[in-house]
Amino acid sequence: MPRSIQSAIDTHLKGFVRFNSVFLPCHFELLSVWVGKEMSLLAKPDVLVDFVGEKAHVGIREGTSFTNLVFRQHKELNRELGRYKGHVVLQVVEKGGDVFDPAARHFLKLGFHDDEDEVSLELIDDPFNL
């Protein structure tokens, strides 16, 4: 059975990264993605919303117990965002949830903290106030 975002966070599950691919231990409906750098106060996060077709910014694949996101405009996410240099924020709805209900929409921050492949998951209130 698919794991919810909240149950993955409550049980402290982590994802992992391989080059430009992130594997997350839950299922969700993806609405938008922000890729942000922590090092610059002037840098605005890139907002990615194209998830369909050959030229999509982000590819999505679901397994029975995970969701895999492939960032096509990046080569190595851990090198680009690791060691607290940046983050990815997903605007999501729990799998099967109502995308039209504002209360059902959540921001899920993915953290790349070290040289390992581990990715942390955290629910946040505002992707522009981190």
- In Å, the largest CA–CA distance within the chain is 43
CB–CB of 45/127 below 8 Å?
Answer: yes
Per-residue DSSP letter, 2: P
pTM, two decimals, is 0.86
What are the residue boundaries of the structural domains of the chain, listed by start? 5-124
Q: For the segment 72-130, what is each residue's pLDDT rounded down to a tens digit?
A: 888 888 888 887 778 899 999 999 999 999 999 999 999 988 767 999 999 998 877 76
Starting at the edge strand that comes first in sequence, how are the strands of the sheet with 105-111 ordered? Answer: 46-48, 28-37, 86-94, 105-111, 118-124, 15-18, 21-24, 67-71, 58-62
Q: For the segment 7-18, what is each residue's pLDDT rounded down to a tens digit?
A: 999 999 999 999
CB–CB of 27/62 below 8 Å?
Answer: yes
